[in-house]
Amino acid sequence: MLVKVSSKGLITLPKALRETFGIDKGDYLAVSAEGTKIVFQKVKREIDWENSDDVWKEYAAKKLVEE
């Protein structure tokens, strides 16, 4: 599948891929590089972003990437 990168660096995941991997509005994807490939992986979000503690948010962001 071919997608175009916008002037702001945005891409749209094709509907077929979203349906195949169960990606819905508001879901989070971890992005990484494997050689010359860009890899997207759906991650679970079980984090209280409303918590005002900055240390918690830093921990939570790391946890998202690790899952």
Predicted pLDDT of residue 45: 66
- Asked whether the beta carbons of 26 and 47 are under 8 A apart, the reply is no
**Residue 9 — pLDDT band, cuts 50, 70, 90?**
very high
Hey, where are the domains in the chain? 15-66
State pLDDT tens for residues 22-48: 999 888 888 999 999 999 999 876 655
Predicted pLDDT of residue 54: 66
Predicted pLDDT of residue 27: 86
The structure's pTM equals: 0.61
Question: How many whole angstroms separate alpha carbon 50 and alpha carbon 47?
Answer: 9
Q: Locate the DSSP E strands across the chain.
A: 28-34, 37-43
**Residue 49 — pLDDT band, cuts 50, 70, 90?**
low
